[in-house]
Structure 1
């Protein structure tokens, strides 16, 4: 502070006391001069950050780096998401300011995913109007369709929670299940009611583009995966090395497992997609995430047509032949955890990052028009 400024401050203080004693308002100090450079700096500081891709993960194990990797860790480390941004939700956001890739961890379940995506979509710090959204998470896979460590791009998201239910011990004897659509009088009644959140269709052209970009990738294999998939005799796709496919997602808050429920998942998906969808992956969050984008899209803050869902197989959604559903489920939660966890986390990054890198590298091509 200069001596002149100090002198002005003391003079103003004395004058203010005298004026106050006389019941008058003291004059305001002179305003700081405004320059073009000051205005530009202020605008730059308050302008929202343009985001090119939001990577949506659901959970992390322990720390974000340096230990057992959950869904977020590989993105955090390899995409250099080094700028931490506070976020009043399950987990802070991380940004690579050079690439415009933003990573989030929503928390598990559709309630967490829906509220986190909605909060991000409304966050004034970011310009998400041209952003692509990539859900990259692990899931249980139908052994009829794929093997552990495989990666599936979805076009349809089906909700497993919105329904009527009667306990099977009390349901009519000629019913195949006690679970049936709201507004109907029995399982799989045709025509099914108009969807009120039971099914969503993603941008099929974008899903196909992502699949074609990654379909020939070689995914990591291991002796542990080979040993596990060898148990699934009679399921040829379950015994293949990991591969990339297209397949749809059933999202429910209950972690279910077993052949009977796997059969139901296939039928429920066919029912709500009019036979166009194929159940492949079972998870919890994706209908919630997409529902938030559907609500936000009319505001122009986001574009729901830019969401992609990639799920990778950490486990099978049913038991192998000769094993009970209970033993199979509980075995997946033993000391070793999911038999395909490491492979599925790696596949989610390996396949997903190919799409992310393509978008970022050719942003001039993809910013204003979809692939």
Structure 2
């Protein structure tokens, strides 16, 4: 089927879904079929929400919905969550669902949605993550330059590995850990974001005074061997490892550092561990090739809700059981700081849209 014909079918499906949905209750309204696509200036990509989109315990999306007035609902039966928008500002927000597959599918579905013109849109992924305590503290915010996939691999049980291997995990189709020949082709194991845009976003936010909280101090004080982990929240540049398995512990943290170093040829630094971002960017890469989006306008911001290894004297198993999804020591701070830092970038883009519509921001010389 030709793309134009596919678009017509998709548009019909969306129109029927919107009619079936009817008006939304509360402060939200359902969008009617537009005469022309909405020109989107910024897409905010979140991965989960806790309960409702507003008025209860907040997940990654709620602050964006409430504070950016994302009150127009575009029904999206083809996605994990409806698309919410502020047509006056040109900002839309999505919730992809957790995991690489959900993220890739939701972003691809949005990219092919004929109700939106995304050709000049900026994409801001804003989510919580586990952080390496060697690099950051709870509540800290990291702008990623590299996104590295942690799933495409071979694995043998560590009890059966050769004695000179650090673990039983090694790149798909390689001959073992650190095989230099495997770097000659890519299956989507690593992506580099636009370094000038990342640098611009970092410089814009690097000096922000992020709120601290006694609960953060109580946890970070336990990490006596990690001086950076004991700092108050701050903004940094640090790369993102996306893997569907929620891993934890010192040994796997060592693997994560090696894995990111390998796939970025020594240029990257593992800081944050989440699930979705390589799936998101893979879809954006395909959409860029189709002329639907501009992959050079993508930013990934992750904030530290928890650490990727336990404090001294606590086992990995015990700490992982303690640090579950709704009980991360830094959860509230991470959610708030993701909004504070991310929204500053969004607002500058909106305030300078006449310029940034045509060209991406550049860091000051």
**TM-score, with normalisation over the residues of structure 1?**
0.87
Alignment of 1:114-193 (within 5 A): 114-193=104-183
Q: How many residues align?
A: 327
Contact 2:165 2:177 in 1 (8 A): yes
Rounded Cα–Cα distance in structure 2 between residues aligned with 1:191 and 1:358:
43
The residue that corresponds to 1:67 in the other structure is 56
Which of 226, 229, 241 aligns to 2:220? It is: 229
Q: Distance in 1 between matches of 2:175 and 2:118?
A: 43
Which whole-Å deviations, capped at 9, do the CAs of 1:137-193 have from their partners, x for residues lacking one?
Answer: 000000000000000000000000001110111112221111111222111112433
Question: What are the superposed Cα offsets for residues 283-311 of structure 1, whole Å, 9 maximum, x if unpaired?
Answer: 00000000001001022110011110000
Question: Residues 322-337 of structure 1: matches in 2 within 5 Å?
Answer: 322-333=313-324, 337=327
- C-alpha distance in 1, partners of 2:87/2:115? 13
Question: What stretches of structure 2 of length at least 5 have no aligned partner?
Answer: 1-32
Runs of at least 5 residues in structure 1 that lack an aligned partner in the other structure: 1-43
CA distance, structure 1, for counterparts of residue 127 and residue 315 of structure 2? 27
The alignment partner of 1:46 has SS state of coil
Asked if structure 2 preserves the Cα contact closer than 8 Å seen for 1:192 and 1:272, the reply is: no
The aligned residue for residue 314 of structure 1 is 305
- For the Cα contact (< 8 Å) 2:39–2:116, is it kept in 1? yes
- In 1, Cα distance between the equivalents of 2:261 and 2:343? 30
Query: Paired residue for 1:297?
Result: 288
Q: Quick one: distance in 2 between partners of 1:229 and 1:191?
A: 40
| Greater than 6 Å deviation, 4+ residue runs | none
The SS at the match of 2:56 is coil
Partners of 2:174 and 2:181 within 8 A in 1: no
RMSD between aligned alpha carbons?
A: 1.1
Bigger Rg, structure 1 or 2: 1
Residues 1-20 of structure 1: per-residue CA shift (max 9 Å, x gap): xxxxxxxxxxxxxxxxxxxx
Query: Of 282, 296, 300, which residue of structure 1 is paired with 2:273?
Result: 282
Q: Secondary structure at the match of 2:252?
A: helix
Contact 2:43 2:123 in 1 (8 A): yes
Query: Which of 353, 356, 369 is residue 346 of structure 2 equivalent to?
Result: 356
8 Å Cα contact 2:103/2:276 also seen in 1: yes
> Contact between 1:233 and 1:321, CA under 8 Å: does it hold in 2?
yes
Indicate conservation of the 8 Å contact 2:34/2:115, yes or no.
no
Partner of 1:57: 46
Question: In 2, distance between residues paired with 1:278 and 1:61?
Answer: 31
